[in-house]
Amino acid sequence: MLVLGVDPGLTRCGVGVVSGRPGGACEIVAVEVVRTPSDAELPARLLTLDERLGALVREHRPEAVAVERVFSQHNTQTVIGTAQASAVAILAGARAGVPVTTYTPSEVKAAVTGSGTADKAQVTTMVTRLLRLAEAPRPADAADALALAICHIWRGGAQARLAAALGGGRRGSARAWGGRR
């Protein structure tokens, strides 16, 4: 399956596209960081992000979009910008009819490192290893976006197997949403 992961942010928004199957190897398809100038007006920044994320969804036609869930433990002023960027990312998938799932940072860390409390360096190391990259993706937003996509591929597979074992084809995650086609 092809998954587009987004580490949302107004100044730097990481986007990683990964193909793979649950339990199997993952391949990097694309990675980029969408940037908007911090001195630009908010509407212009959100529109830039919206246009680029929309274009990436149209270009790659992912089967799923995975976005990092925004939490309140950060600096509250930063959290507002991150929440606004996450809304744009979620809409980019939802408008295209692509299922969107959100994951907490701990879920992503646990998926790629085995520990929900791993630090950023450990996540970057594991993303580099899992995708067999010659060098680490930079900046950290790029590595985080790739980790989100890997997390969705692996967890999605586990959910599908669980649903199958329970005798239904139903999606297992309470946080997944099937979109509108």
Binding site feature residues for Mg(2+): 7, 68, 141
Burial 129-160 (b: 16+ CB within 10 A, else e): ebbeeeeebeebbbbbbbbbbbbbbbbbbebb
User: Buried (b) or exposed (e) across 73-99, using 16+ Cβ within 10 A?
Assistant: eeeeeeeebbebbbbbbbebbeebebb
Q: Which is nearer to a copy of itself, 80 or 163 (CB)?
A: 80
Residue of the chain from 17, 31, 66, 102 that contacts a copy of itself (CB under 8 A): 102
Binding of residue 76 to a copy of itself (CB under 8 A): yes
Choice between 78 and 115, CB closer to a copy of itself? 78
Q: Using CB under 8 A, pick the residue from 6, 53, 85, 146 that binds a copy of itself.
A: 85
Question: Shortest distance, CB of residue 94 to a copy of itself, whole angstroms?
Answer: 4
Q: Residue 132 interacts with a copy of itself (CB under 8 A)?
A: no
Site string for a copy of itself, 30-69 (x = CB under 8 A): -----------xxxx-xx--x-------------------
**CB proximity list for 169: less than 8 A, separation 6 or greater:** 163
Residue 163 CB contacts under 8 Å (≥ 6 apart), including other chains: 169, 170, 171, 172
**Least distance to a copy of itself, CB of residue 158, Å:** 20
In the annotation, is 141 catalytic?
Answer: yes
Q: Spell out the residues 6+ positions from residue 42 whose beta carbon is closer than 8 angstroms to its own.
A: 84
DSSP per-residue codes, 9-20: -SSEEEEEEEEE
Which positions touch a copy of itself (CB under 8 A)? 41-44, 46-47, 50, 70-72, 76-77, 79-81, 83-88, 90-91, 93-95, 100, 102, 175-177, 179-180
Q: List the catalytic residues.
A: 7, 68, 141
